[in-house]
Amino acid sequence: MTLQFDLVSPEKKLFSAPVAMVTLPGSEGDFGVLPGHAPFIATMRVGVIDVYQEKESTVSRRVLVSGGIVEVNPTGCTVLAEDAVPLEDVSLESMGVEHTRLTERYSVAEGEAKQELAAKIELSEKKLELLTFLRQC
């Protein structure tokens, strides 16, 4: 038995397939979705989505997300992610470079631009913490 899983970012649909299970980084904690799950809507925090396409014990895909909204119904699960990148495409080095670039821009920014950069820096720090933790596991 499977459920339809769709992962969408503002730019495009990143993934759409029947899956055995998916685990998601909810704002109140991680949760799993199996076929026949009760309907609900939740928000997500920065974290990793694990997709189990064939067996519930084998992760077939991992995606780093920056937050978003999840809708679950008995036949499927749809994630509207703020930003999503396959975990294998992300490195600590590239995240560190991005964080440094944002910090440099913040030091010379003013007003509303400075506030926007502060939010991006906070998000970047959360991603760096998560990636550091995942690489140590």
Mean pLDDT, range 72-93, rounded to an integer: 92
User: Has residue 39 got a pLDDT over 80?
Assistant: yes
pTM metric for this prediction: 0.84
Burial code (b: 16+ CB inside 10 Å, e: under 16) for 12-32 equals eebbeeebbbbbbbeeeeebe
Mean pLDDT, range 100-122, rounded to an integer: 90
C-alpha distances out from residue 30 to 2, 42, 50, 77, Å: 20, 11, 10, 15
Both structure tokens of 16 = 């759409």
User: Has residue 56 got a pLDDT over 80?
Assistant: no
Mean pLDDT, range 95-112, rounded to an integer: 90
Mean pLDDT, range 78-103, rounded to an integer: 91
For residue range 1-19, what is the model confidence (pLDDT) as tens digits?
899 999 999 889 999 999 9
| Three-state secondary structure string covering 66-91 | EEEEEEEECCEEEEEECCEEEHHHCC
Mean pLDDT, range 82-88, rounded to an integer: 91
Mean pLDDT, range 90-110, rounded to an integer: 89
- Give the lowest-confidence range in 4-13, 39-48, 56-65: 56-65
